[in-house]
């Protein structure tokens, strides 16, 4: 895929509304049209399925709409977040290797990055897939998506980016070989619903890989998490994560933990 195109493999499975027949077509004016004749704009390199209205479950989501949120996210926080949280050297490369293994990216196919932010997983998976597959990152924040497109193009990778709500995934059933979620599960207002939607769009045997944050065990960590929870961020117990995944139509693997950071793989039943 070149920088001026939107991958047909993703267009073919997009279904903006449940009643739509899967697939979008170019409208001839720089956007895309659904089979029900609704037009969606391509903005800053990403396809906007939500329009101009803000979509947010909580204050934490709303902060991603702030000017500069996308530009600052990776250099200020994301490049060092897991090292700070785990207390050990944990570069982004190590994190991506773990989620790639859990999602079994080496199989190829279509992959979905849920709550992609500035596109760390999306562009990394896209680079590793090469011509053997396609990856699509979704987020609700225009700022994050514009930055995700910018960083991907700078890296010479051209995945698909959509502005879409993970609670109502705009894809046909069984569209993806795998899905990834890096930290966003802690910020979703209804993580159970997101997981059920993810199970729906995974093909049988498809894989989910999640990185998230568990409840802190130290007094200092618990105080910080209580403050963050005021903005809608939630933190899980290990058994809670496994239960959420299991009740969503996915079979969870054994959880992997590094301090409060967890990684979990699961298979669509």
Q: How does pLDDT run across 57-96, given as a tens digit for each residue?
A: 888 898 998 888 999 999 999 999 999 999 999 999 999 9
- HSE, CB side, 13 Å, CA atoms: give it for residue 15: 16
Q: Tell me how far apart the alpha carbons of residues 60 and 81 are, in angstroms, rounded to a whole number.
A: 16
- What number of helices (H) and strands (E) belong to the chain? 10, 12
**pLDDT value at position 59?**
86
Please provide the average confidence, as pLDDT, over all residues in the chain.
94
Helix, strand, coil percentages (3-state) for the chain, rounded to 5, are: 40, 25, 35
Q: Tell me how far apart the alpha carbons of residues 161 and 246 are, in angstroms, rounded to a whole number.
A: 28
Q: Tell me how far apart the alpha carbons of residues 158 and 92 are, in angstroms, rounded to a whole number.
A: 20
State whether residue 82 is helix, strand or coil. Answer: helix
Rg (the chain; Cα; Å): 18
Q: How does pLDDT run across 110-165, given as a tens digit for each residue?
A: 999 999 999 999 999 999 999 999 999 999 999 999 999 999 999 999 999 999 99
**pLDDT value at position 3?**
47
In order, the DSSP letters of 155-218 are: TT---EEEE--GGG--B-TT-EEEEEEESGGGT-S-HHHHHHHHHHHEEEEEEEEEEEEBPP-S
Kindly tell me if the per-residue pLDDT of 182 is higher than 50: yes
Element (H, E) at 59: helix 59-62
Domain boundaries, the chain: 43-268
Contact 225, 153 (CB under 8 A): no
Kindly tell me if the per-residue pLDDT of 193 is higher than 90: yes
The C-alpha torsion from 191 through 197 and 201 to 205, rounded to 10°, is 60
CATH number of 43-268: 3.40.50.150
State whether residue 100 is helix, strand or coil. Answer: helix
Element (H, E) at 153: helix 142-154
């Amino acid at each position: 895929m070149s920088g001026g195109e939107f991958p047909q493999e993703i267009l073919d499975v997009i279904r903006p509304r449940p009643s739509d027949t899967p697939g979008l077509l170019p409208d001839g004016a720089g956007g895309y049209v659904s089979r029900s004749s609704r037009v969606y704009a391509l903005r800053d390199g990403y396809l906007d399925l939500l329009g101009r209205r803000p979509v947010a479950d909580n204050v934490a989501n709303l902060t991603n709409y702030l000017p500069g949120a996308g530009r600052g996210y990776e250099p200020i926080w994301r490049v060092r977040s897991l090292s700070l949280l785990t207390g050990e050297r944990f570069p982004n490369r190590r994190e991506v290797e773990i989620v790639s293994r859990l999602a079994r990216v080496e199989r190829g196919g279509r992959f979905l990055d849920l709550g992609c932010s500035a596109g760390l997983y999306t562009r990394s998976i896209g680079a590793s897939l090469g011509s053997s597959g396609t990856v699509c990152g979704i987020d609700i924040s225009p700022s994050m998506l514009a930055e995700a497109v910018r960083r991907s193009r700078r890296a010479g990778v051209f995945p698909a980016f959509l502005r879409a709500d993970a609670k109502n995934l705009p894809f046909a059933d069984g569209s993806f070989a795998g899905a990834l979620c890096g930290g966003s599960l802690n910020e979703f207002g209804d993580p159970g619903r997101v997981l059920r939607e993810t199970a729906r769009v995974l093909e049988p045997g498809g894989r989910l890989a999640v990185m998230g944050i568990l409840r802190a065990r130290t007094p200092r960590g618990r105080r910080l998490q209580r403050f963050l929870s005021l903005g809608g961020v939630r933190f899980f117990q290990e058994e809670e994560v496994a239960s959420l995944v299991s009740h969503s139509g996915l079979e969870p693997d054994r959880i992997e933990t590094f301090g409060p950071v967890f990684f979990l793989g699961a298979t669509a039943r």
